Amino acid sequence: MKILVCISCVPDTTSKIVIDPATSQISNQGLTFIVGPYDDYALSRAIELKESHSAEVIVLHVGGTESEALIRKCLALGADSAVRIDGNPVSSNQIATAITSYVKQNPCDLILMGKESIDYNSGIVHGLVAGALGYTHFNPVMHLELAGDSLNLEVEMDGGKMEVTCPLPAVLGCQEPIAEWKIPSMRGIMTARTKEIVVIPLTDTSEVQLLKADIAETARKNKMIKAEDAEQLIDLLRTETNVL
Amino acid sequence: MKKIAILAQIKEGQLSDTTKQLIAFVSGFQPEQLKVVTLGEIKFNSLGSSLPAEIISLTGDLWVDTASIQTLGNEVKDFCVFGIKSIQTDNLLSLLAANASQEIISGIQHLSYSAGTFTISKSIFSGKASLTLQSSTAAFFSINRNFDFGGVNELPEVAVASSVSLAASATSNAAIVSLKPITGSIPLPDAALVVSAGRGLKDPGNWTIVEDLAKELGAATACSKPVSDLNWRPHHEHVGQTGVKISPNLYIACGISGAIQHLAGVNGSRIIVVINTDPEAPFFKHADYGIVGDVNDILPRLTKKLQIH
């Protein structure tokens, strides 16, 4: 059983996002990068399956050299090997095409990734990969159990959830509570040093042109109401804002 | 513009107002042909008179059926396909885009079309920023629920030119074992008004005061991550970075301090009210109205006020 876990490397959730005036794009200055939190859930579940079902876990990332430390952390958590498709993708299609090309050359049974990356929030790479490969697709998956040649899943849907049996090969977008985040052990960190990170170039292009990024400013009223006058809130919501 | 198709979510057989707004918006591009693909059975014959649209209603388990993706793909071949963000819409749009080998863009806040090129503003970093991009090749578009329709308020009159029903085939290997719809409450992503509570509630037994206020307002209820982690409330009510992201007209945060991860899920709200005992709670900086006080005292008073007036 071969599991490919695709990870995004994204600014930490507490990051203050600023624009670089020279490029009109998001500035990477002063940002701390982490493995996407949803991807981290996917990886944690893959490692649990490695331990319980002796699966092989390969981590894949599409991005630049700056991500190597984070890929190394995934190896320290227990992934067996890693692939970095080297480049700076600008669209979900470009990332999905790169993953698809890799899988066509290196078949695997199960592809896991987060339901979305927390930087661009697109949430469509798993669907694009599944569609291109003709694999079964579910998203967002909250529970995953191996059952022989297929999977038992719990999947969130609009207005509820469902339990499904899913044949392999499959591509799944993951979210909590599929697994608990893990912390690398000292032994894991040591062995990760010698594990291989294969680097292949990103050859797929995108026709999307990024023009500029802007910070969303929402002006808030910041009006304080005394606790003893709390009932006034209802009047203000009715008269000042018309939301009631 | 060429041909346009819309993926429309159906509730009780009817199109939502947002879907109608989207139809009005895209008809501004004067498409050669307009198809409305409904995910579910429809219970209307006509939507009015002026705009001819072909209605295709898809029924069956689209969730698990890859064959019906092909069928749907054939129906919208060479169309620009628009949908309104939901789990199902985004899943379908991405599978369709892969099938058609076309570019897809999601999280769209603003969109314009001129001389064969789309200029799109997309929400990124959970609404903290936006990205403007151009594409002349994108064919699949997922718009956010708070999309800027640019003053299209008139809901269009759509005439049904023809109506086809396609049933999903039963060829898939995946199978649904059980379906557990959430019943008896207002679905959180659709809600215009939301009352949300955090650990400041002190005890899960106090949740009734949140429900009472929500009921009086006609609001949905939500919670912070710690509250769902403690199993006080189900996971689907958790709003924030790793939970549901919402953009209601009114968000009332009760006993939630306002960690940045929580704000990421709610900062698209039009009006934010914060009630917290701690005057230093960071949420107050992001509030339209703030009350420093105990939610266990304040919420019942707000409920009572609504009941009287």
Is residue A182 classed as helix, strand or coil in its secondary structure? coil
Q: How many CB pairs under 8 A join A and B?
A: 251
In this structure, are B144 and B205 located in the same domain? no
Residues 26-55 of B with CB under 8 A from A: none
Q: How many residues does chain A have?
A: 244
- Residues 6 or more apart whose CB falls under 8 angstroms from that of B258 comprise B274, B281, B282, B283, B284, B285, B286
Domain region containing B42? 3-167
Considering only A89-98, A168-177, B32-41, which range has the smallest mean pLDDT? B32-41
B308 contacts chain A (CB < 8 A): no
Q: Does A217 touch chain B (CB under 8 A)?
A: no
Q: Does domain A2-219 have CATH number 3.40.50.620?
A: yes
E strand or H helix that includes residue A105:
helix A92-105
Q: Is residue B178 part of a domain?
A: no
What is the secondary structure of A49-76 as a DSSP string?
A: HHHHH--EEEEEEEE-GGGHHHHHHHHH
- The answer to whether residue B129 is domain-embedded is yes
- What are the distances in angstroms from CA B305 to CA B253, B295, B302? 18, 15, 5
pLDDT in tens, A54-91: 899 999 999 999 999 999 999 999 999 999 999 999 99
User: Using CB atoms and an 8 Å cut-off, which of residues 60-89 of chain A contact chain B?
Assistant: none
B273/A121 CB distance under 8 A: no
B209 and B292 share one domain: yes
CA separation for the pair B153, B295 (Å, rounded): 38
Say yes or no for a CB contact (<8 Å) between A13 and B261.
yes
pLDDT, averaged in runs of 10, over chain B (309 residues): 85 79 86 84 56 72 66 89 92 93 95 93 89 94 89 64 62 73 76 94 93 94 94 89 88 95 89 96 95 96 92
Q: Which helix (H) or strand (E) holds B299?
A: helix B295-308
**Helix (H/G/I), strand (E/B), else coil: A166:** strand
Mean pLDDT of A187-202: 94
User: pLDDT above 90 covers what percent of chain A?
Assistant: 81
Element (H, E) at B120: strand B117-124
Interface check for A52 against chain B (CB to CB < 8 A): the answer is no
Global pTM value: 0.88
Q: Which of residues 239-298 of B touch A (CB under 8 A)?
A: 241-242, 249-250, 260-261, 264, 267, 270-273, 275, 284-293, 297-298
Cβ of A17 within 8 Å of Cβ of B125? The answer is yes
Q: Which residues face B178 on adjacent strands?
A: A163
- Judgement on whether residues B298 and B268 belong to the same structural domain of the protein: yes
Run of H or E including B220: strand B220-223
Give the closest residue to B90 by CA, choosing from A62, A13, A156, A145.
A156
* Together in a domain, B287 and B200: yes
CB of A14 within 8 Å of a chain B CB? The answer is yes
Which chain A residues are within 8 Å of B142, Cβ to Cβ?
A: 124
B16-21's contacts with Cβ under 8 Å and 24+ in sequence apart are B16/B84, B17/B155, B18/B84, B18/B145, B18/B147, B19/B84, B20/B47, B20/B155, B20/B156, B20/B158, B21/B149, B21/B152, B21/B153, B21/B155
The residue of chain A with its CA nearest to that of B274 is A224
Inform me whether the pLDDT recorded for A12 exceeds 50: yes
pLDDT tens readout for residues A17-55 = 899 999 999 998 889 999 999 999 999 999 999 999 989
Please indicate, yes or no, whether residues B137 and B200 belong to a single structural domain of this protein. Answer: no
Q: How far is CA B300 from the centre of its chain?
A: 30
The answer to whether A187 contacts chain B (CB < 8 Å) is: no
SS3 state at A237: helix
Q: Which stretches of B43-102 are assigned E, i.e. beta strand?
A: 51-59, 79-84
Cross-chain Cβ contact B104/A92 below 8 Å: yes
- A159-188: string of b/e by CB count within 10 Å (b at 16+)? bebbebebebbbbbbbbbebbeebebeeeb
Q: What is the pLDDT of residue A77?
A: 96
Please report, in angstroms and rounded to a whole number, the separation of the first and last CA atoms in chain A: 55
Give the orientation angle of helix B87-100 with respect to helix A92-105, to 10 degrees: 60
Q: Which pLDDT belongs to residue B154?
A: 64
What is the model's pLDDT at position B48? Answer: 45
Q: Find the CB nearest B87 among A26, A157, A207.
A: A157
Q: Is A131 on the interface with B (CB under 8 A)?
A: yes
Of the candidates B94, B132, B142, the beta carbon closest to that of A131 is on B94
Residues B94 and B212 occupy one common structural domain: no
Chain A: residue whose CA lies nearest to B137 = A207
Residue A56: half-sphere exposure toward Cβ, Cα within 13 Å: 9
On the question of a cis peptide bond just before residue A140, with omega within 30 degrees of 0, the verdict is yes
Please indicate whether, in this complex, the C-beta atoms of B91 and A127 are within 8 angstroms of each other.
yes
Whose tokens are 């002349």? That residue is B136
Give me the interface pTM, i.e. the ipTM: 0.91
Nearest to B130 among A214, A234, A243 (CB): A214
Instruction: Report pLDDT for B49.
Output: 36
Residues B129 and B255 in one domain: no
Instruction: Clarify whether residues B90 and B16 are in a common domain.
Output: yes
- Residue where a domain stops, chosen among B134, B167, B200: B167
In a domain, B173, yes or no: no
Q: In angstroms, what CA-CA distances link B38 with B1, B23, B83, B231?
A: 22, 13, 11, 36
**Residue A156: pLDDT over 60:** yes
Q: How many domains does chain B have?
A: 2
Whichever domain contains B272, its CATH number is: 3.40.50.1220
Q: How many H-runs (helices) and E-runs (strands) does chain B carry?
A: 7, 16
Are B155 and B225 part of one and the same domain?
no
> Per the CB < 8 Å rule, is B131 touching A212?
yes
**A101 contacts chain B (CB < 8 A):** no
Most distant pair of Cα atoms in chain A: their distance:
68
Cβ separation of A159 and B182 shorter than 8 Å?
Answer: yes
Contacts of A19 in chain B (CB under 8 A): 129
Q: Is residue B181 part of a domain?
A: no
Residue of A nearest to B187 (CA): A159
A230/B301 Cα distance (integer angstroms): 8
Q: Are residues B103 and B231 in the same domain?
A: no
Give the chain A residue whose CA is nearest to the CA of B89. A158
Q: Name the 3-class secondary structure at A133.
A: helix
* Nearest CB to A216 within list B94, B99, B129: B129
Chain A hits for B287, CB-CB cut-off 8 Å, are 220-222
Q: How far is B27 from chain A (nearest CA, A)?
A: 24
Pick the last residue of a domain from B122, B138, B167: B167
Domain with B89 in it: what CATH number?
3.40.50.620
Q: A127: closest CA among A153, A155, A100, A90? A: A100
Sign of CA dihedral B91, B75, B27, A158: negative
